[in-house]
Structure 1
Amino acid sequence: MTQGARDFALGGLHHVQLAIPPGAEELCRAFWGGVLGMTELEKPPVLAARGGCWFRGGSLEVHLGVEEDFRPNRKAHPGILVTSLHALAQRLEDNGVGVTWEGDFPGYDRFYAFDEVGNRLEFLEPVHGS
C-alpha cells in the first residue's frame, strides 16, 4: 500500500489516559470533578477493581489509571480545547492551581497547569480571526 492510500480513517480521540499514584482518586475527583466540573463515569466492574477514575466533560473523556511506580508527566500532556479560556484560568487560580500562559502557538491562546498529582495539562482556545 502506498503512503497516501488508506482503507481506514482516524476519527478523533475516545479518551486520554493519565497516570495517578495509588490512593489518589479523591484528589482527582476534587480536581477533575470539582474544579473542572467534569462528570465522573462509572467504570466497568473489571476495570474498577484496578482503581482510578474516569471523567467526561463535553466530548472529552479523561481516564485516570493507577500506576504503582507513578511519576507525573512533566513534559508529555493532553492539549485540551476549551471555550472561555480566561474564565477557566481564573477558576483554576481561584482554586489554588497555578497557570502559565504561553503565546507561541499560532492561532491559539493557551496556558499550562498541573493537576493535583503533578501531570502537565495544556488548555487552549482558537484565536478568533486567525
Structure 2
Amino acid sequence: MIKALDHIQLALPAGSEDDLRAFYCDALGMVEIPKPAPLRGRGGFWANAGELQVHFGVDLDFHPATKAHLAFAVADIDALARDLADKGYPVTWDTALPDVRRFFCNDPVGNRMEFIAAPV
C-alpha cells in the first residue's frame, strides 16, 4: 500500500535547465540538490520544496502540461504573486472556489502551476 509521496517529476525540454532553475529555485525558493551520480548525464536537476523533492527531467518529446499541474500551498500568496509578476511570470487569479485564494502561473516552458494560500 502507498505510504507517502516520495517525489514529483516535471518534464522539461533539453537545454531549458537554466530557465527552470531561475523560476523554481530563484523565484520560488526551491533549493537545488545534487542528483545521484548515475543520473547526472541525463540532464535536468533535482530540488527541494520544503520537505517535497521535485525532479526536473529532460523529455526529448516534451509537451508542456497545460491541464495537469502541481498545486503548491504558500505562506504569503499575495507577495508571491507580486514577486512572480515583477520577474516577468504572469499570474492569473482564479475565483471559482470562493473559499480558496489561488492563482495559476506557467513556468518558462509552459507547465501549468497552481499556488494556493496555505491556511493560517
Q: Does 1:114 align with 2:106?
A: yes
Q: Assess, with a 3 A threshold, how the Cα gap between structure 1 residues 9 and 17 changes in structure 2: closer, same or farther.
A: closer
Which residue of the partner structure matches residue 14 of structure 2? 22
Match for 2:101: what amino acid?
D
- Partner of residue 82 from structure 2, selected from 70, 90, 103: 90
> Whose Rg is larger?
1
TM normalised by structure 2 equals 0.91
- Partner of residue 35 from structure 2, selected from 35, 39, 43: 43
Gaps of at least 5 residues in structure 2 are none
Q: Does 1:31 align with 2:23?
A: yes
Aligned residues: 120
**Deviations 1:57-112 (CA, angstroms, capped at 9, x unpaired):** 21232211000010101110011111111111011001000001111235321100
Q: Assess, with a 3 A threshold, how the Cα gap between structure 1 residues 127 and 116 changes in structure 2: closer, same or farther.
A: same
Gaps of at least 5 residues in structure 1 are 1-7
Q: Does 1:101 align with 2:87?
A: no
> What is the CA distance between 1:26 and its match in structure 2?
0.8
TM normalised by structure 1 equals 0.85
User: What is the percent sequence identity of the aligned residues?
Assistant: 45
